[in-house]
């Protein structure tokens, strides 16, 4: 019976892949949250919310 050899993935590739995966997840959450907030707040209130949030982050 042959032993299976484990393939070790280099640590830097795991870190890079997890970084890209987190960016994709964050982008998806942002798209969903924009649609959700637009439905709840309406266009004008969402515009004010976005403006104030942008100013606070800046």
Give the model's pLDDT for residue 1.
65
pLDDT tens digit sequence for 41-58: 999 999 999 999 999 988
pLDDT tens digit sequence for 21-40: 999 999 999 999 999 999 99
pLDDT at residue 2 tops 80: no
**Residue 7 CA neighbour count, 13 Å, CB half:** 1
pTM of the model: 0.65
Give the model's pLDDT for residue 16.
97
Give the model's pLDDT for residue 7.
86
Would you kindly state where each structural domain of the chain is located, as residue ranges? 26-57
Q: How far apart are CA 41 and CA 32, in angstroms?
A: 14
Q: How far apart are CA 29 and CA 33, in angstroms?
A: 6
Give the chain as a 3 state SS string.
Answer: CCCCCCCCCCHHHHHHHHHHHHHHHHHHHHHHHHHHHHHHHCHHHHHHHHHHHHHHHC
């Amino acid at each position: 019976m042959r032993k299976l050899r484990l393939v070790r993935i280099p640590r830097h590739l795991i870190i890079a892949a997890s970084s890209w995966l987190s960016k994709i997840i964050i982008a998806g959450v942002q798209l969903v949250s924009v649609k959700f907030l637009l439905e709840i707040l309406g266009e004008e209130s969402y515009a004010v919310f976005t403006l104030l949030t942008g100013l606070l982050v800046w």
